[in-house]
Amino acid sequence: MNRIDNFNRADDTLAIGTPSDGGSAWVAEMSGGDTWGIYQNTAYHVGTIFPSIATLESSMSDVDVEVTISADYYNFGIAFRVVDELNFLALYINSAQQTLFKSVNGVTTGIGTYSGSMATGDTFRVRANGSTLESYQNDVLRVSTTETFNQTATKHGLYNGDNPASAGTQYDAFSITGLGGGLSIPVAMHHYSQQGIS
């Protein structure tokens, strides 16, 4: 099923909670008591474990996964086709580069890279369609590659990188859309916050 979360709910330092679509709640995938939360109607990583992943179950493996970055610091992105904290795919973004990579039993391997900058308010999207993987920045294709790892996994979500400063990244207007058709993502769901975390 398609999933949507605009994160428009009360601040919470213990969990992201139940998304605005009313479906199953967000899950912090990393062991050791990792935590994500809500700050000024955006999601952010609260914990001290890096990297970190938070996911929603969609029951779909061929998907578009999209998020808007409303405050950016370092090393953030989108996790997709997640099985667990050691086995997943992700789009990893920093100020100068975007990388698609896979984590197989905790060993990470880059599978595609784009060199270019990003800015607060940019929207990033991963398209996973069979073995074809693509990443987009503001609907412009950045990386295209093929990968069969975790091709049937159905959890997708947020990725926070290996730099503690990335805890300041704020995520907004998140969606998982099945490529077989279904609900469109209403533009009105998008919320843009330019404020940082104090």
Let me know if residue 196 belongs to a domain: no
Binned at pLDDT 50, 70 and 90, residue 162 comes out as: low
- Please give the tally of structural domains in the chain: 1
Q: What is the mean pLDDT of the chain?
A: 87
pLDDT at position 95 is 81
> What is the rounded CA–CA span in Å between residue 71 and residue 59?
30
Let me know if residue 44 belongs to a domain: yes
pLDDT at position 65 is 98
Let me know if residue 132 belongs to a domain: yes
Q: Which residue has the higher pLDDT, 100 or 48?
A: 100
The CATH number that applies at residue 170 is: 2.60.120.560
> What is the rounded CA–CA span in Å between residue 198 and residue 195?
9
Q: Which residue has the higher pLDDT, 195 or 174?
A: 174
pLDDT at position 181 is 44
Let me know if residue 187 belongs to a domain: no
pLDDT at position 16 is 95
Let me know if residue 194 belongs to a domain: no
Q: Tell me the residue range of the domain where 42 lies.
A: 3-181
Let me know if residue 159 belongs to a domain: yes
Let me know if residue 192 belongs to a domain: no
Let me know if residue 188 belongs to a domain: no
Q: Counting beta carbons within 10 angstroms of the beta carbon of residue 181, is it exposed (0 to 12), middle (13 to 18) or buried (19 or more)?
A: exposed
